[in-house]
Protein backbone atom coordinates (compact mmCIF):
# COMPACT_ATOMS: atom_id res chain seq x y z
CA UNK A 1 0.00 0.00 0.00
CA UNK A 2 1.43 3.40 -0.92
CA UNK A 3 0.46 6.92 -1.92
CA UNK A 4 -2.27 9.10 -0.43
CA UNK A 5 -4.19 7.11 2.16
CA UNK A 6 -1.46 4.46 2.34
CA UNK A 7 1.48 3.99 4.67
CA UNK A 8 3.61 6.62 2.83
CA UNK A 9 1.12 9.27 3.93
CA UNK A 10 1.48 8.34 7.58
CA UNK A 11 5.29 8.05 7.77
CA UNK A 12 5.95 11.56 9.26
CA UNK A 13 3.09 11.05 11.74
CA UNK A 14 4.34 7.60 12.79
CA UNK A 15 7.81 9.09 13.37
CA UNK A 16 6.35 11.91 15.48
CA UNK A 17 4.38 9.53 17.74
CA UNK A 18 7.14 6.92 18.17
CA UNK A 19 7.69 6.18 21.89
CA UNK A 20 10.95 4.21 21.61
CA UNK A 21 13.44 5.15 24.38
CA UNK A 22 17.04 5.34 23.06
CA UNK A 23 19.40 3.02 24.93
CA UNK A 24 21.67 5.92 25.93
CA UNK A 25 18.75 7.65 27.73
CA UNK A 26 17.86 4.69 29.96
CA UNK A 27 18.48 4.97 33.72
CA UNK A 28 17.68 2.56 36.60
CA UNK A 29 14.19 3.19 38.00
CA UNK A 30 12.60 2.43 41.38
CA UNK A 31 8.81 2.49 41.78
CA UNK A 32 6.98 3.76 44.87
CA UNK A 33 3.45 2.34 45.00
CA UNK A 34 2.47 -1.12 43.76
CA UNK A 35 -1.18 -0.42 43.07
CA UNK A 36 -3.42 -1.30 40.15
CA UNK A 37 -2.00 1.21 37.70
CA UNK A 38 1.61 0.14 38.27
CA UNK A 39 0.57 -3.48 37.74
CA UNK A 40 -1.38 -3.00 34.50
CA UNK A 41 0.37 0.02 32.96
CA UNK A 42 3.71 1.27 34.37
CA UNK A 43 5.52 -2.07 34.58
CA UNK A 44 4.29 -3.57 31.26
CA UNK A 45 5.07 -0.31 29.42
CA UNK A 46 8.57 -0.06 30.89
CA UNK A 47 9.32 -3.69 30.04
CA UNK A 48 8.24 -3.14 26.41
CA UNK A 49 10.40 0.00 26.26
CA UNK A 50 13.45 -1.90 27.55
CA UNK A 51 13.69 0.08 30.81
CA UNK A 52 15.28 -1.37 33.95
CA UNK A 53 13.17 -1.36 37.14
CA UNK A 54 15.56 -2.19 39.98
CA UNK A 55 13.06 -2.27 42.85
CA UNK A 56 9.63 -1.40 44.20
CA UNK A 57 8.22 -0.14 47.51
CA UNK A 58 4.68 -0.08 48.87
CA UNK A 59 3.52 0.41 52.45
CA UNK A 60 1.51 -2.73 51.74
CA UNK A 61 4.52 -5.06 51.60
CA UNK A 62 2.50 -8.11 50.64
CA UNK A 63 1.17 -6.25 47.62
CA UNK A 64 4.70 -5.08 46.72
CA UNK A 65 6.00 -8.67 46.77
CA UNK A 66 3.05 -9.90 44.71
CA UNK A 67 3.54 -7.24 42.00
CA UNK A 68 7.34 -7.62 42.04
CA UNK A 69 6.95 -11.37 41.52
CA UNK A 70 4.52 -10.95 38.64
CA UNK A 71 6.86 -8.57 36.77
CA UNK A 72 10.28 -9.97 37.76
CA UNK A 73 11.26 -6.84 39.72
CA UNK A 74 14.40 -7.99 41.60
CA UNK A 75 14.06 -6.05 44.85
CA UNK A 76 11.27 -5.08 47.28
CA UNK A 77 12.28 -2.21 49.56
CA UNK A 78 11.07 -2.21 53.18
CA UNK A 79 10.81 1.59 53.40
CA UNK A 80 11.02 4.79 51.37
CA UNK A 81 14.35 5.49 53.11
CA UNK A 82 15.71 2.25 51.64
CA UNK A 83 14.71 3.41 48.15
CA UNK A 84 16.38 6.78 48.67
CA UNK A 85 19.54 5.15 50.02
CA UNK A 86 19.93 2.89 46.98
CA UNK A 87 22.71 4.51 44.92
CA UNK A 88 21.72 2.53 41.84
CA UNK A 89 18.37 4.34 41.68
CA UNK A 90 18.50 7.49 39.55
CA UNK A 91 14.78 7.88 38.84
CA UNK A 92 11.82 7.31 41.16
CA UNK A 93 8.41 6.64 39.65
CA UNK A 94 5.68 7.55 42.16
CA UNK A 95 2.18 6.04 41.87
CA UNK A 96 0.43 6.30 45.22
CA UNK A 97 -2.81 7.86 46.42
CA UNK A 98 -2.60 11.52 45.47
CA UNK A 99 -2.54 12.84 49.04
CA UNK A 100 0.60 10.80 49.84
CA UNK A 101 2.58 12.06 46.84
CA UNK A 102 3.92 15.49 48.00
CA UNK A 103 5.75 14.09 51.05
CA UNK A 104 7.42 11.44 48.89
CA UNK A 105 8.45 14.09 46.33
CA UNK A 106 10.00 16.32 49.03
CA UNK A 107 12.05 13.42 50.44
CA UNK A 108 13.15 12.16 47.00
CA UNK A 109 14.17 15.63 45.78
CA UNK A 110 16.21 16.11 48.96
CA UNK A 111 17.94 12.81 48.18
CA UNK A 112 18.79 14.05 44.66
CA UNK A 113 16.56 11.61 42.76
CA UNK A 114 14.77 12.50 39.52
CA UNK A 115 11.03 11.84 39.64
CA UNK A 116 8.01 10.91 37.60
CA UNK A 117 4.86 11.73 39.59
CA UNK A 118 1.30 10.55 39.06
CA UNK A 119 -1.49 12.93 38.21
CA UNK A 120 -2.78 14.99 39.91
CA UNK A 121 0.74 16.25 40.66
CA UNK A 122 -0.43 18.07 43.82
CA UNK A 123 -3.66 18.81 45.67
CA UNK A 124 -3.37 22.59 45.07
CA UNK A 125 -1.35 25.11 43.05
CA UNK A 126 0.72 26.30 46.02
CA UNK A 127 1.98 22.76 46.70
CA UNK A 128 2.65 22.17 42.99
CA UNK A 129 4.71 25.37 42.79
CA UNK A 130 6.55 24.48 45.99
CA UNK A 131 7.51 21.03 44.58
CA UNK A 132 8.48 22.53 41.19
CA UNK A 133 10.72 25.11 42.92
CA UNK A 134 12.29 22.53 45.25
CA UNK A 135 13.23 20.39 42.25
CA UNK A 136 14.67 23.33 40.31
CA UNK A 137 16.74 24.43 43.30
CA UNK A 138 18.05 20.89 43.80
CA UNK A 139 18.83 20.45 40.09
CA UNK A 140 16.65 17.34 39.76
CA UNK A 141 14.11 16.72 37.02
CA UNK A 142 10.47 16.24 37.97
CA UNK A 143 7.82 15.36 35.38
CA UNK A 144 4.19 14.26 35.65
CA UNK A 145 2.64 11.10 34.24
CA UNK A 146 0.08 12.84 32.01
CA UNK A 147 0.28 10.00 29.52
CA UNK A 148 -2.86 10.76 27.49
CA UNK A 149 -0.69 13.22 25.50
CA UNK A 150 1.22 10.16 24.32
CA UNK A 151 -1.79 7.98 23.60
CA UNK A 152 -1.64 7.19 19.90
CA UNK A 153 -4.95 8.86 19.01
CA UNK A 154 -4.04 12.13 20.72
CA UNK A 155 -0.44 12.05 19.51
CA UNK A 156 -1.57 11.50 15.93
CA UNK A 157 -4.02 14.43 16.17
CA UNK A 158 -1.23 16.67 17.53
CA UNK A 159 1.22 15.54 14.84
CA UNK A 160 -1.32 16.06 12.04
CA UNK A 161 -2.05 19.57 13.31
CA UNK A 162 1.69 20.26 13.55
CA UNK A 163 2.16 19.19 9.92
CA UNK A 164 -0.50 21.70 8.84
CA UNK A 165 -2.74 19.00 7.37
CA UNK A 166 -5.94 20.39 8.93
CA UNK A 167 -5.01 24.04 8.44
CA UNK A 168 -5.54 26.25 11.49
CA UNK A 169 -7.01 24.29 14.44
CA UNK A 170 -10.43 25.70 15.35
CA UNK A 171 -12.11 23.33 17.82
CA UNK A 172 -11.46 20.22 19.86
CA UNK A 173 -14.26 18.18 21.36
CA UNK A 174 -14.21 15.22 23.75
CA UNK A 175 -17.36 13.18 24.35
CA UNK A 176 -17.06 10.39 26.90
CA UNK A 177 -20.15 8.54 28.17
CA UNK A 178 -19.06 5.46 30.12
CA UNK A 179 -19.75 3.38 33.26
CA UNK A 180 -16.80 3.67 35.67
CA UNK A 181 -16.61 1.47 38.77
CA UNK A 182 -14.96 3.87 41.19
CA UNK A 183 -15.14 1.15 43.87
CA UNK A 184 -11.70 0.04 42.62
CA UNK A 185 -10.34 3.18 44.35
CA UNK A 186 -11.95 3.38 47.84
CA UNK A 187 -10.07 6.65 48.49
CA UNK A 188 -11.73 8.20 45.42
CA UNK A 189 -15.23 7.26 46.59
CA UNK A 190 -14.87 9.65 49.52
CA UNK A 191 -12.86 12.35 47.75
CA UNK A 192 -14.56 15.75 47.51
CA UNK A 193 -13.20 16.08 43.95
CA UNK A 194 -13.49 13.40 41.31
CA UNK A 195 -14.22 13.82 37.60
CA UNK A 196 -12.16 16.92 36.77
CA UNK A 197 -9.25 16.32 39.15
CA UNK A 198 -8.78 12.60 38.45
CA UNK A 199 -10.19 11.93 34.98
CA UNK A 200 -10.79 15.00 32.82
CA UNK A 201 -7.35 16.23 33.92
CA UNK A 202 -6.11 13.86 31.17
CA UNK A 203 -8.23 15.54 28.48
CA UNK A 204 -7.33 19.01 29.77
CA UNK A 205 -3.60 18.23 29.59
CA UNK A 206 -3.98 16.64 26.14
CA UNK A 207 -5.95 19.65 24.87
CA UNK A 208 -3.23 21.98 26.19
CA UNK A 209 -0.65 19.92 24.27
CA UNK A 210 -2.51 20.69 21.01
CA UNK A 211 -4.18 24.10 21.43
CA UNK A 212 -2.03 25.67 24.16
CA UNK A 213 -3.41 27.36 27.27
CA UNK A 214 -7.02 28.58 27.23
CA UNK A 215 -7.90 32.05 28.47
CA UNK A 216 -11.40 31.30 29.80
CA UNK A 217 -13.12 28.22 31.23
CA UNK A 218 -16.72 27.36 32.09
CA UNK A 219 -17.94 24.14 33.67
CA UNK A 220 -21.15 22.63 34.99
CA UNK A 221 -20.81 19.48 37.11
CA UNK A 222 -23.34 16.95 38.36
CA UNK A 223 -23.95 13.64 40.13
CA UNK A 224 -26.38 10.78 39.48
CA UNK A 225 -28.74 10.40 42.45
CA UNK A 226 -27.77 7.11 44.12
CA UNK A 227 -24.24 6.97 42.69
CA UNK A 228 -21.45 5.54 44.90
CA UNK A 229 -18.86 8.37 44.74
CA UNK A 230 -19.34 11.47 46.88
CA UNK A 231 -18.17 13.95 44.25
CA UNK A 232 -19.00 14.95 40.66
CA UNK A 233 -19.24 12.22 38.00
CA UNK A 234 -20.53 14.28 35.05
CA UNK A 235 -18.96 17.46 33.74
CA UNK A 236 -19.62 19.73 30.78
CA UNK A 237 -16.78 22.14 30.15
CA UNK A 238 -16.06 24.83 27.59
CA UNK A 239 -12.66 26.43 26.97
CA UNK A 240 -11.81 29.54 24.92
CA UNK A 241 -8.38 30.23 23.44
CA UNK A 242 -6.80 33.53 22.41
CA UNK A 243 -6.44 32.16 18.85
CA UNK A 244 -10.23 32.00 18.59
CA UNK A 245 -10.23 28.21 18.95
CA UNK A 246 -12.52 26.48 21.43
CA UNK A 247 -12.74 23.15 23.21
CA UNK A 248 -15.74 21.32 24.61
CA UNK A 249 -15.80 18.32 26.95
CA UNK A 250 -18.83 16.27 27.97
CA UNK A 251 -17.74 13.49 30.31
CA UNK A 252 -20.17 11.17 32.12
CA UNK A 253 -19.14 8.13 34.23
CA UNK A 254 -22.66 7.01 35.19
CA UNK A 255 -23.99 5.70 31.87
CA UNK A 256 -26.41 2.92 32.86
CA UNK A 257 -27.47 2.02 29.32
CA UNK A 258 -24.43 0.10 28.07
CA UNK A 259 -24.10 2.32 24.99
CA UNK A 260 -20.55 3.39 25.80
CA UNK A 261 -18.92 6.24 23.92
CA UNK A 262 -15.43 7.79 24.12
CA UNK A 263 -14.75 10.06 21.16
CA UNK A 264 -12.59 13.04 20.27
CA UNK A 265 -12.48 15.32 17.28
CA UNK A 266 -10.08 18.08 16.25
CA UNK A 267 -11.35 20.42 13.56
CA UNK A 268 -9.29 22.86 11.52
CA UNK A 269 -9.80 25.30 8.68
CA UNK A 270 -8.78 22.63 6.12
CA UNK A 271 -9.70 19.32 7.69
CA UNK A 272 -10.37 17.23 10.80
CA UNK A 273 -9.03 14.35 12.85
CA UNK A 274 -11.54 12.17 14.67
CA UNK A 275 -11.12 9.10 16.82
CA UNK A 276 -12.03 7.00 19.83
CA UNK A 277 -10.28 6.26 23.16
CA UNK A 278 -10.37 2.48 22.93
CA UNK A 279 -9.36 1.90 26.55
CA UNK A 280 -12.56 3.44 27.88
CA UNK A 281 -14.76 0.84 26.20
CA UNK A 282 -13.60 -1.79 28.76
CA UNK A 283 -11.16 -0.28 31.33
CA UNK A 284 -8.30 -1.04 31.74
CA UNK A 285 -7.81 -3.39 28.77
CA UNK A 286 -10.24 -1.93 26.27
CA UNK A 287 -9.48 -2.01 22.58
CA UNK A 288 -7.16 -0.04 20.27
CA UNK A 289 -7.93 3.60 19.57
CA UNK A 290 -9.28 4.54 16.18
CA UNK A 291 -8.03 7.65 14.35
CA UNK A 292 -9.10 9.02 10.99
CA UNK A 293 -8.05 12.06 8.99
CA UNK A 294 -9.94 14.20 6.53
CA UNK A 295 -7.69 16.79 4.88
CA UNK A 296 -8.02 19.21 1.97
CA UNK A 297 -4.26 19.90 2.32
CA UNK A 298 -2.90 16.38 1.70
CA UNK A 299 -5.54 15.91 0.21
CA UNK A 300 -7.31 12.75 1.33
CA UNK A 301 -10.17 11.03 -0.45
CA UNK A 302 -12.68 11.31 2.40
CA UNK A 303 -11.80 9.91 5.85
CA UNK A 304 -8.54 7.91 5.93
CA UNK A 305 -7.78 5.61 8.91
CA UNK A 306 -4.39 5.77 10.69
CA UNK A 307 -2.88 2.30 11.34
CA UNK A 308 -2.97 2.31 15.17
CA UNK A 309 -0.41 0.01 16.83
CA UNK A 310 -0.62 0.83 20.57
CA UNK A 311 -3.02 1.41 23.44
CA UNK A 312 -3.48 4.07 26.13
CA UNK A 313 -2.84 1.31 28.71
CA UNK A 314 -0.06 0.26 28.77
CA UNK A 315 1.73 1.73 25.73
CA UNK A 316 1.21 5.48 26.34
CA UNK A 317 2.89 5.10 29.76
CA UNK A 318 6.26 4.89 27.99
CA UNK A 319 5.76 8.51 26.89
CA UNK A 320 6.13 10.53 30.12
CA UNK A 321 8.94 8.27 31.41
CA UNK A 322 10.72 8.37 28.04
CA UNK A 323 10.57 12.17 27.90
CA UNK A 324 11.79 12.44 31.52
CA UNK A 325 14.75 10.18 30.64
CA UNK A 326 15.44 12.30 27.53
CA UNK A 327 15.40 15.43 29.76
CA UNK A 328 17.92 13.87 32.16
CA UNK A 329 20.17 12.70 29.30
CA UNK A 330 20.00 15.71 26.99
CA UNK A 331 18.66 18.70 28.94
CA UNK A 332 15.59 18.97 26.69
CA UNK A 333 12.71 19.64 29.14
CA UNK A 334 9.97 17.00 29.24
CA UNK A 335 6.64 18.22 27.78
CA UNK A 336 4.98 17.17 31.05
CA UNK A 337 7.62 18.76 33.32
CA UNK A 338 6.33 20.01 36.68
CA UNK A 339 6.61 23.60 35.43
CA UNK A 340 4.24 22.79 32.55
CA UNK A 341 1.92 20.74 34.72
CA UNK A 342 1.23 23.72 36.98
CA UNK A 343 -0.74 25.14 34.01
CA UNK A 344 -2.83 21.96 33.76
CA UNK A 345 -3.56 22.26 37.49
CA UNK A 346 -4.50 25.94 37.05
CA UNK A 347 -7.04 24.82 34.46
CA UNK A 348 -8.43 22.22 36.88
CA UNK A 349 -8.77 24.94 39.53
CA UNK A 350 -10.46 27.31 37.07
CA UNK A 351 -13.06 24.67 36.22
CA UNK A 352 -13.84 23.98 39.89
CA UNK A 353 -14.10 27.74 40.50
CA UNK A 354 -16.50 27.96 37.56
CA UNK A 355 -18.62 25.11 38.94
CA UNK A 356 -18.73 26.75 42.37
CA UNK A 357 -19.54 30.23 41.06
CA UNK A 358 -21.76 29.31 38.11
CA UNK A 359 -19.76 31.69 35.91
CA UNK A 360 -17.00 31.62 33.31
CA UNK A 361 -13.56 32.01 34.91
CA UNK A 362 -10.31 33.43 33.56
CA UNK A 363 -7.61 30.77 33.65
CA UNK A 364 -4.69 31.93 35.81
CA UNK A 365 -1.15 32.22 34.55
Ligand X SMILES: NC(=O)c1ccc[n+]([C@@H]2O[C@H](COP(=O)([O-])OP(=O)(O)OC[C@H]3O[C@@H](n4cnc5c(N)ncnc54)[C@H](O)[C@@H]3O)[C@@H](O)[C@H]2O)c1
Interface with ligand X (CB under 6 A): 32-38, 57-60, 63, 95-98, 100, 118-119, 145, 147, 185, 198
Nearer residue to ligand X within complex by CB, 42 or 169 = 42
Nearest C-alpha neighbor of 155 from the set 209, 198, 208: 209
CB of 165 to ligand X, least distance (A): 28
CB of 298 to ligand X, least distance (A): 32
Contact 148, 160 (CB under 8 A): no
By Cβ distance, which residue is nearest to ligand X?
Answer: 35
Give dist(CA 57, CA 250) in Å, integer: 37
Give dist(CA 249, CA 219) in Å, integer: 9
Nearer residue to ligand X within complex by CB, 145 or 354 = 145
Phi-psi region of 99 (alpha: psi -120 to 50; beta: other; left: phi over 0): alpha
Nearer residue to ligand X within complex by CB, 95 or 325 = 95
CB of 77 to ligand X, least distance (A): 10
CB of 294 to ligand X, least distance (A): 29
For the beta sheet containing 361-362, the strands, ordered from the edge strand earlier in sequence to the opposite edge, are: 304-305, 290-295, 271-276, 261-268, 169-177, 246-252, 234-240, 216-222, 361-362
Element (DSSP H or E) covering residue 268: strand 261-268
CB of 3 to ligand X, least distance (A): 37
For the beta carbon of residue 179, count every other beta carbon within 10 angstroms.
Answer: 14
CB of 32 to ligand X, least distance (A): 5
Nearer residue to ligand X within complex by CB, 120 or 275 = 120
CB of 141 to ligand X, least distance (A): 19
Nearer residue to ligand X within complex by CB, 95 or 176 = 95
Contact 112, 84 (CB under 8 A): no
3-class SS at 220?
A: strand
Nearer residue to ligand X within complex by CB, 145 or 336 = 145
Helices (H), the chain: 7-16, 36-37, 43-48, 61-70, 80-85, 101-110, 125-138, 152-162, 186-189, 201-211, 318-330, 338-357
CB of 238 to ligand X, least distance (A): 24
Helix crossing, 7-16 with 152-162: angle to 10°?
100
Nearer residue to ligand X within complex by CB, 36 or 138 = 36
Nearer residue to ligand X within complex by CB, 35 or 322 = 35
Amino acid sequence: MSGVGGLDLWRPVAEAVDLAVPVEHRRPIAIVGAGAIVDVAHLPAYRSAGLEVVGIFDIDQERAHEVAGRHDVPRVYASLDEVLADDRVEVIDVAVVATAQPAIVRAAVAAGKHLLCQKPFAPDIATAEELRDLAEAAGVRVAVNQQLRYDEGVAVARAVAGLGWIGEPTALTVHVDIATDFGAWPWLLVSDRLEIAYHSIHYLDAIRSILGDPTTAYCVAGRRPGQAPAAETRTMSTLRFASGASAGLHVNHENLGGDLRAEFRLDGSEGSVRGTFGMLYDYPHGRPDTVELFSRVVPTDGWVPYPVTGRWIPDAFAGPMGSLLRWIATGEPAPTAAADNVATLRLVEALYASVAGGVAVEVGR
